[in-house]
Structure 1
């Protein structure tokens, strides 16, 4: 049976993070992950994780100035100081709550120096995280939800991972983003299995529950299992209201 992680950035987003962790446990998830937990005291998160026995798989670095249109900092030239401050914040928080993966967000930029900036900041992140057993993830985002985001494709992510050349850097393979940008999910999963550090999913094109839309996730989940991937898959979809009524896919798909 497919193991599942609840992304609490979208699921039970109306609840405080510790209560969302408890709700995920009550509804049968095997793990949890989140987006930006930094306003929540680590002690509260630790208490909820210990109470439920769930692990927090991943969190994101800060987006930066959201009101100013930022969505990550690490590929932005001349913002290295802010990017590394966000990386340090994420490493400290992840270390405190026992979270094993950090998604380092690239941000919106078309600057010619963005690639080199991102590579340098990822090396910094990997070396800051490695002593604590934490992996760094990078995630291509689609052009519809995140036009202008620096990291766009799995091929671009692979080239960056190979150039950074750190053992704790991996690809966040979000089936939703990859389908909208590249399609051909089964082959993309096979081609990138060696660099995948986490897999997420949502229905396409609306980013709703996974049993609605153009992807047959029953097939996708079976294919992932056939490749030998056994880690929990991250449900990162927008429920469009209360989470509980959208969860019947957990039985039908997994």
Structure 2
């Protein structure tokens, strides 16, 4: 079982380059991040080269966070802003050899938002294909992100079907899926052909995966048996120091 440290939450008190170095020291196999745009590409690239870690994914910008925005690509009338965010993510991902971009939908609802999301994802996929990049969409749970456009895997399947391009995949976050739908094992099996990345955290507190209502020893075994071999994204919120939170790596993976 290989692991990717999500640096949006892990070592979030450090600069992104130093967080990459910390992930290497903790023996993660890869890293991923949320929004790297306040860090120079060269500084990130240097840290990745120094550690030998690949960066697996990053997100498009949330938009104007002072107004509570959480993505732009399903917001009708914000096409220019959505595509600027997509282009920005593509620039970082292509420069850093990042294979996945999570395109964030934002707070929206209705058929017009669906159609707008499909249009922007089509734009993202066609441009990403030129760099060998996969576009990801991720359902977010209604408790952490009420009114977020994408909330279930069934809705994500419909979006992927309507876009109809091979480099659009599902980000399967066990934490979000458990809160909204449950039945993690069967959903992983059914959705495996559509999955581009898997993330995990405890439920319901989004902490370390060694407690809560999901038995991750079992979930990880299911993932192994399905033949999924890409690194799994540890996207949990440490209760204090990240290094002190890593005991689960021994207890769950041995």
CA distance in 1, matches of 2:185, 2:57: 24
CA distance in 2, matches of 1:190, 1:111: 29
CA distance in 1, matches of 2:28, 2:51: 10
Regions of 4+ moved over 4 Å: none
Superposition deviation, residue 162 in structure 1: 1.1
Determine if the alignment matches structure 1 residue 58 to structure 2 residue 57: yes
CA distance in 2, matches of 1:34, 1:108: 21
CA distance in 1, matches of 2:239, 2:68: 23
CA distance in 2, matches of 1:41, 1:69: 25
Superposition deviation, residue 112 in structure 1: 3.7
CA distance in 2, matches of 1:99, 1:56: 5
Q: Which residue of 2 aligns with 1:39?
A: 38
Q: TM-score, normalised by structure 1?
A: 0.99
Q: Which residue of 2 aligns with 1:208?
A: 207
Number of residue equivalences: 253
Superposition deviation, residue 111 in structure 1: 4.3
> Residue by residue, what CA displacement relative to the aligned partner does 1:87-107 show, whole Å, maximum 9, x if unpaired?
000000111111110000000
Q: Residues 1-40 of structure 1 correspond to what in structure 2 (within 5 A)?
A: 2-40=1-39
CA distance in 2, matches of 1:184, 1:80: 36
Contact kept, 8 Å, 1:110 with 1:148, in 2: the verdict is yes
CA distance in 1, matches of 2:50, 2:109: 45
Superposition deviation, residue 20 in structure 1: 0.3
Q: Which residue of 2 aligns with 1:153?
A: 152
CA RMSD, 1 decimal: 0.6
CA distance in 2, matches of 1:242, 1:251: 17
Q: Which residue of 2 aligns with 1:163?
A: 162
Contact kept, 8 Å, 1:77 with 1:111, in 2: the verdict is no
Q: Which blocks of at least 5 consecutive residues in structure 1 are unaligned?
A: none
CA distance in 2, matches of 1:18, 1:179: 32
Superposition deviation, residue 240 in structure 1: 2.2
Q: Which residue of 1 aligns with 2:183?
A: 184
Q: Residues 201-240 of structure 1 correspond to what in structure 2 (within 5 A)?
A: 201-240=200-239
State which drifts further: 106-115 or 46-55: 106-115
